[in-house]
Structure 1
Amino acid sequence: MNRIDRLFGILTLLQSKKYVSAEAIAERLPECFVNDYDYLSVLQTTISNKLMIELEYKNNKSEISKRRVEPIGLVFYAFAWHLVAWCHLRGEYRDFKVARILKAKNTGCTFTRQDHLPLADYLKQLPVPY
């Protein structure tokens, strides 16, 4: 039996009714494992180019707000991606869970602050290990 035959056999086995489809597994995952990658590319671009973002964000109380932020970094902790950014609305650094971002728009405008806190310093303040 050659490699192609073996691979075909494995494929046939995986497609049988004995195995649950990826979609069925995804439906059973808790909310903390929901795909939050929709905006990672936009966020990475704005971070590296030091460009502001306009966010539409839903907090943990399901309240929706619009924010203009200066993103300083992305970090994965507590089973989710988080955007760390200077928030113009609050006038302080904030942690935005990426899965709760409803819209993210690259404004094309450069940061207004030039002296942002290093991401590593912000991460030291987190209540959980990252």
Structure 2
Amino acid sequence: MTECLPLTAAGSAEESWTERMLCRLYDPELWHAPELLEEGRAICGQCPAIKDCAANTLRLAANSSERLSGMWAGVDIPEATKGSAYRNRLKRLKHVAATGTQLPTRNRRSRVAV
């Protein structure tokens, strides 16, 4: 089972933004079960605390020896994500922290030979 990291230290100045998080109102499984991630991403996209969530997630990633996994500020980080794929997810989080918006996802359609 994946270890859950706390969002903030109790009593910290950052604690107030966690009160605005929409995810507090939903089942935590929305951010970890692959079949529910789209629903979780939609909720994150409407969250008034998405910038703070992304910034806090980047701090967690920088200060942890463990790689993060799950949905963070609307960015899906699968448990097995490594190397450049993990760095790309962190880059997406930096964009969310700076802008409060998601980078558009690319539609990768396979090319079919005619």
- Which structure carries more strand by proportion? 1
Greater helix proportion = 2
TM-score, normalised via structure 1 length: 0.23
The structure with more radius of gyration: 1
Q: TM-score, normalised by structure 2?
A: 0.25
